Amino acid sequence: MKLSPNTPITVLNGIGEVRAKAFEKLGIVTLSDLIQHYPRAYQNRANIHPVAGFDPDGACSYLLTVATEPRVHLIRRGMSILRFRAFDESGTCEVSYFNQNFLKDTFHVGMEFRFFGRMVQDKYVKKLASPLFEPYVEGISLPDLVPVYPLAAGLSQKLISRAVKEALSLVETPEDYLPGDIRLKNKLPTLRYAWENIHFPADEEALKRSVHRLAFNEFFTYALSLLRAKGERAASGAPYMGEIDLSAYLDSLPYELTYDQLCAINDVVLDMCGEGEPAPDGTVAPMSRILIGDVGSGKTACAAAAAVLAAQNGYQCALMAPTEILAAQHYHSLAPTFASLGYSAALLSGSMTAKEKKAVRDGLASGEISFVVGTHALLENKVTFARLGLVITDEQHRFGVMQRAALAEKSAHTHVLVMSATPIPRTLSLVLHGDLDISRIEQMPPGRMPIDTFVVGESYRVRLNGFMEKQIAEGHQVYVVCPAVEGKEETDPENMANYTPFGRETFASPLPMKAAVEYAERLKQALPHRRIEFIHGRIKGAEKDRIMQAFAAGEIDILVSTTVIEVGVNVPNATLMVIENAERFGLSQLHQLRGRVGRGNAKSYCVLVSDANGEAALSRLNIMKETNDGYKIAEHDLQLRGPGDFLPTGDGAIRQHGGVTFRLADRLGDTALFEAAVEDARALIAADPGLAACPALRAHLGAMQEANLNTIN
């Protein structure tokens, strides 16, 4: 009898308590988890190199016959080396293994093996140290593409791949929840085929087809869960806001709104007063709208219009920002407007005293305060509203699953407006915002000075330091961004020479923590008289806020950071953005970062520092020189790197909205497939909103939702 996918992995050979714990670190508990632990790359062992034509730069395969019996040499206590010679028709080499004496029973004269490793020429002898090996038997072919899995301590590639193989043989094939006609129409293989071939591909084509199939599932189920959520939300009513007079608000603005801003406000107004008459209970279908506009395009003015509309109709509005700093910024820019219109506004911030917080909560509970700005602390149960009518969130992708769920609860009967500064290609926003109506601001307010962008190499370092100095001397401030600090470098021979068939490049050596810290130190030495602060992910909330506040107040000249500043901080006095190892960032990310400067009246600059010499990397960076248009950049990113950069990522929790985790989206080369997935999901929901005809799919979505609830509670 076959096993259910929910069986714990301890049924597998050689996996007891200890190893199960190690697997758990990778989020793997059941057979199904294990099967969904997809390889992150594949070693291509198909190309057998002759010894004479060995590749000194990378690991590759050699087909060798053992020439001498292995001999073990003790180097010193606790350290031994096993050595033998092996050959092919082109030459001979020496194969060695450290501290693996037991291998002497594996290799014997005359036996053939496929070795995989990096060969070096040492004086007269070619050496192959600790290569991977597979016995080669005439007539039995070895796999060409060998999976390389993400590892955790206590696990090896061999162990994982053996476990996956066994799991695949034991597990029952679940009923394919993808409706057959949709599968066939998109020429997708079966689930079983995809499972087997994503781990142990028969060939490149099989691998590609499998990735497509599984990625299609991800997009399809994601789209379906959003569409169903939208359907549910539409069924609940939100307040009818029929009192519409925005003229006083519009007159209070010191500028003319752009056409796109006016259109967005128009969309919002129409949503909030509903189509036609309100229902007898005075409600209309709730607004669920996202306002997408590049950094600086003026989304706040549109959102404020919605807040004014709510206040005018006697309802409260809550605006949530992802950080305290952003919340404070919104509050300080919007409160005067509200005050001038006769509505009271308040900020609810973690750094306020208990007494201050209580006063705000009381004002919200009594309805005295019309407009409140804060972080997700606004969602706490302690905070109650007399007449909450509108919830606005800024940069929503920064909110985690838990906050989103709490938000959904708090705003069940309110209008919802979301602001996003990530210019997302149209096709993708259909996927990501399937539960929202979309308004786009594609036009920038007039009179913006374009930011000049340069791509330079390490040889410009001295000049670059001089340029920073010049900006500061002129009274301006500088941002320096280093790539996110990641784990230690992988030097495991098993992870060398990985072959990633599609999608984004993987970077072998993330900039280690030390380098970023050292960098800040070097900069301090180069510019000793300047005030330089370093901020990174391990610096916690209050301290981080303190540094950001100090920078905003002009008390710091240069802020060196990892990408924590990405979210819309506004420091108009900053005129120079330097991005180190720029090739490691997605273009859209670079664009977001660049948007931190050019917010004031002074000419601003962005310098991308990169020593990448690859043609592709450089031409990618040059796109940044050519355009300031976030949408164009986003389209390029999508073409070059796949959709991964736009999907909710960051921490694991955000990845799984609606229980869906995008594991394979990064590897999806073409956009046609996910467009098809969304189209098919839409058509299916339109024809059969309850999914009555697709019981397997209904069950699958239900299970996903349940899993999601479990992660929240």
> In the set 61, 210, 217, 297, which binds ligand ADP (CB under 6 A)?
297
Count of beta carbons in the 10 Å neighbourhood of residue 402? 15
Tokens 């804060």 — which residue?
374
Touching Mg ion, residues 554-593 (CB under 5 A) = 568
Nearer to ligand ADP, 233 or 299 (CB): 299
Residue 295 binding partner per list ligand ADP, Mg ion, none, with a CB distance cut-off of 5 to 8 Å that depends on partner kind: ligand ADP
Instruction: Tell me if 422 contacts ligand ADP by CB under 6 A.
Output: no
- Residue 321 CB, nearest distance to Mg ion (Å)? 9
> In the set 295, 417, 468, 577, which binds ligand ADP (CB under 6 A)?
295
Instruction: Tell me if 554 contacts ligand ADP by CB under 6 A.
Output: no
Strand-strand pairing, 345-348 and 283-284: unpaired
Query: 497, 47 in Cβ contact below 8 A?
Result: no
Instruction: Tell me if 301 contacts ligand ADP by CB under 6 A.
Output: yes
711 CB-near residues (< 8 Å, 6+ apart): 401, 653, 656
Count of beta carbons in the 10 Å neighbourhood of residue 538? 9
Nearer to ligand ADP, 144 or 394 (CB): 394
Residue 301 binding partner per list Mg ion, ligand ADP, none, with a CB distance cut-off of 5 to 8 Å that depends on partner kind: ligand ADP
615-626 and 587-594 are packed helices; what angle lies between their axes, rounded to 10 degrees?
40
Nearer to ligand ADP, 242 or 445 (CB): 445
- Residue 337 CB, nearest distance to ligand ADP (Å)? 11
> In the set 258, 313, 403, 439, which binds ligand ADP (CB under 6 A)?
258
Count of beta carbons in the 10 Å neighbourhood of residue 375? 20
Instruction: Tell me if 630 contacts ligand ADP by CB under 6 A.
Output: no
Tokens 């019981």 — which residue?
695
Instruction: Tell me if 259 contacts ligand ADP by CB under 6 A.
Output: no
Strand-strand pairing, 119-122 and 112-117: unpaired
Continuous H helices in 443-536: 461-473, 513-526
Q: The tokens of 544 are what?
A: 């981080």
- As a whole number of angstroms, the distance between CA 552 and CA 549 comes to 5
Instruction: Tell me if 593 contacts ligand ADP by CB under 6 A.
Output: no
Query: 354, 285 in Cβ contact below 8 A?
Result: no
- As a whole number of angstroms, the distance between CA 200 and CA 194 comes to 10
The maximal CA–CA distance of the chain, rounded, in angstroms, is: 93
- Give the angle subtended at the CA of 377 by the CAs of 702 and 653, to the nearest 5°: 35
Name the amino acid, one letter, at 155: L
Instruction: Tell me if 300 contacts ligand ADP by CB under 6 A.
Output: yes
- Residue 13 CB, nearest distance to ligand ADP (Å)? 56
- Residue 506 CB, nearest distance to ligand ADP (Å)? 32
Residue 255 binding partner per list ligand ADP, Mg ion, none, with a CB distance cut-off of 5 to 8 Å that depends on partner kind: ligand ADP
Q: The tokens of 602 are what?
A: 């002074």
> In the set 147, 293, 643, 659, which binds ligand ADP (CB under 6 A)?
293
- String of contacts with ligand ADP for each residue 488-527, x by CB under 6 A: ----------------------------------------
Strand-strand pairing, 71-76 and 532-535: unpaired
- String of contacts with ligand ADP for each residue 364-403, x by CB under 6 A: ----------------------------------------
- As a whole number of angstroms, the distance between CA 658 and CA 708 comes to 6
The residue count for binding ligand ADP (CB under 6 A) is 16
Instruction: Tell me if 296 contacts ligand ADP by CB under 6 A.
Output: yes
- As a whole number of angstroms, the distance between CA 359 and CA 376 comes to 18
Instruction: Tell me if 445 contacts ligand ADP by CB under 6 A.
Output: yes
Continuous H helices in 200-343: 204-235, 247-252, 259-273, 299-312, 324-340
Dihedrals φ, ψ of 207, to 5°?
Answer: -65, -45
281 CB-near residues (< 8 Å, 6+ apart): 237
Instruction: Tell me if 298 contacts Mg ion by CB under 5 A.
Output: no
Touching Mg ion, residues 451-490 (CB under 5 A) = none
- Residue 326 CB, nearest distance to ligand ADP (Å)? 10
- As a whole number of angstroms, the distance between CA 670 and CA 575 comes to 37
Residue 257 binding partner per list Mg ion, ligand ADP, none, with a CB distance cut-off of 5 to 8 Å that depends on partner kind: ligand ADP
Nearer to ligand ADP, 297 or 439 (CB): 297
> In the set 255, 449, 466, 712, which binds ligand ADP (CB under 6 A)?
255
Query: How many alpha carbons lie under 13 Å from residue 253 in its C-beta half-sphere?
Result: 17
Closest residue to ligand ADP using C-beta atoms: 298
Nearer to ligand ADP, 181 or 256 (CB): 256
Query: 684, 182 in Cβ contact below 8 A?
Result: yes
Contact stretch for ligand ADP (CB under 6 A) within 129-137, 225-233, 257-265, 425-433: 257-265
- Give the angle subtended at the CA of 328 by the CAs of 323 and 329, to the nearest 5°: 95
Instruction: Tell me if 602 contacts ligand ADP by CB under 6 A.
Output: no
| CA 450 and chain centroid, separation | 28
Residue 547 binding partner per list ligand ADP, Mg ion, none, with a CB distance cut-off of 5 to 8 Å that depends on partner kind: none
3-state DSSP of 654-674: HHCHHHCCCCCHHHCCCHHHH
The size of the chain, in residues, is 713
Touching Mg ion, residues 204-223 (CB under 5 A) = none
Nearer to Mg ion, 495 or 604 (CB): 604
- String of contacts with ligand ADP for each residue 139-158, x by CB under 6 A: --------------------
- Residue 417 CB, nearest distance to ligand ADP (Å)? 13
Contact stretch for ligand ADP (CB under 6 A) within 222-230, 256-264, 346-354, 359-367: 256-264
222 CB-near residues (< 8 Å, 6+ apart): 431, 434, 657, 658, 660, 662
- String of contacts with ligand ADP for each residue 261-280, x by CB under 6 A: x-------------------
> In the set 37, 183, 299, 596, which binds ligand ADP (CB under 6 A)?
299
Binding residues vs Mg ion (CB under 5 A): 568
Binding residues vs ligand ADP (CB under 6 A): 255-258, 261, 293, 295-301, 421, 445, 568
